């Protein structure tokens, strides 16, 4: 699956889309495939500051619990409340309804890849 080109990606398989000082963060298609069926999502409360590369939350699947890392630093403005009742949205629509949090950011993400570079990274890692 081609990655949406309107966002940036991390080597730990999160995506970020920044517009107007606000960043929306989620996990990639590859990440949700590796996790398997998601059964619980733990996200930070609004107002919490997260550092770039810091732990943003946890995703529990039938296979394991995995940490999610912040691709950009900022203050959490809102979390995706739909995931509390419907964690399977991460499996069904990781680039749409399965977003995790929105952050108020002061700068651009530094350690991210564009869609083509992320695809290349996946290929090099043998992920496809």
Segment 64-81, tens digit of pLDDT = 999 999 999 999 999 999
Band of the pLDDT at 1, cuts 50, 70, 90? low
Report H helices in the chain: 29-35, 82-85, 89-92, 115-124
Tokens of 80: 């995706």
pLDDT for the residue numbered 2: 74
Band of the pLDDT at 101, cuts 50, 70, 90? very high
CB 41 within 8 A of CB 10: no
Q: Which fold has domain 8-119?
A: OB fold (Dihydrolipoamide Acetyltransferase, E2P) (2.40.50)
Q: Measured between alpha carbons, how far apart are the two ends of the chain, in Å?
A: 9
Nearest-angstrom CA–CA distance, 114 and 72:
14
Least confident of 23-27, 48-52, 104-108: 104-108
| SS3 state of residue 83 | helix
**Is pLDDT of 29 > 90?**
yes
Domain ranges of the chain: 8-119
pLDDT for the residue numbered 3: 84
Residue with tokens 């309804």: 97
Nearest-angstrom CA–CA distance, 90 and 101:
12
């Amino acid at each position: 699956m081609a990655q949406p080109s309107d966002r940036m990606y991390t080597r730990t398989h999160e995506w970020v889309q920044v517009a107007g000082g606000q960043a929306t963060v989620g996990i990639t298609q590859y990440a949700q495939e590796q996790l398997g069926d998601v059964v619980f999502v733990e996200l930070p409360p609004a107002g919490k500051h997260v550092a770039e590369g810091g732990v943003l939350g946890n995703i529990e699947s039938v296979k394991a619990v995995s940490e999610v890392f912040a691709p950009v630093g900022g203050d959490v403005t809102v979390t995706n409340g739909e995931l509390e009742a419907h964690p399977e949205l991460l499996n069904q629509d990781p680039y749409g309804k399965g977003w995790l949090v929105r952050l108020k950011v002061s700068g651009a993400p530094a350690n991210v890849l564009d869609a083509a570079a992320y695809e290349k990274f996946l290929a090099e890692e043998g992920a496809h």
